[in-house]
Amino acid sequence: MKTVADYIRTIADFPHEGIMFRDVTTLFSDPRGMRLAVDQMLHPYAGQPIDKVVGLEARGFILGGAIAHQLGTGFVPIRKKGKLPGPVISEAYTLEYGEAVVEVHDDAIQAGERILLVDDLLATGGTAEAGIKLVERLGGVIVGCAFIIDLPDLGGRARLEAMGMEVHALTSFAGD
């Protein structure tokens, strides 16, 4: 029986030399792989009261929409700066090569709503941390952070857990 990791393609030296890129598009394109990933990502949260699923741009949208559908909840996208119409709040964060900003509509989450944050990959945790901060600024309560892949050597899980977050990942790749 195949695991989620079996559906993930590794591409050496992308986007530049020395990087082992974990490509989840091969997982998404296979109906069994996609179903397996969505089911396993939502499993720890089934039966918990969750008001909305928040997905981080861009692959978090694919997963978040599917998970929200299965849970019968709403979906909220957190996007790169300048992509959302209407009033937004923003959060800057540091990347290995600079800085980025993500945004969410200022009315997307109501105070006290229970939120599941999802994305495909947890590396340094910068994007996830920025997403968590946006949700919390709107008064949302993060019940968990779910990812397909954890790259533990990059410290993202430890960073989120230090913030008090519950982190769930389906597979990990050490040394990346």
Residues 97, 41, 81: CA angle, nearest 5 degrees: 35
Q: What is the rounded distance in angstroms from the CA atom of residue 21 to the CA atom of residue 79? A: 22
Specify whether 159 is catalytic: no
- The active-site residue out of 9, 57, 96, 157 is 96
Is 96 in the active site?
yes
Which candidate in 59, 79, 103, 157 is catalytic?
59
Q: Rg of the chain over CA atoms, in angstroms?
A: 16
Q: Strand pairing of 88-95 and 20-23?
A: unpaired
Catalytic residues: 59, 96
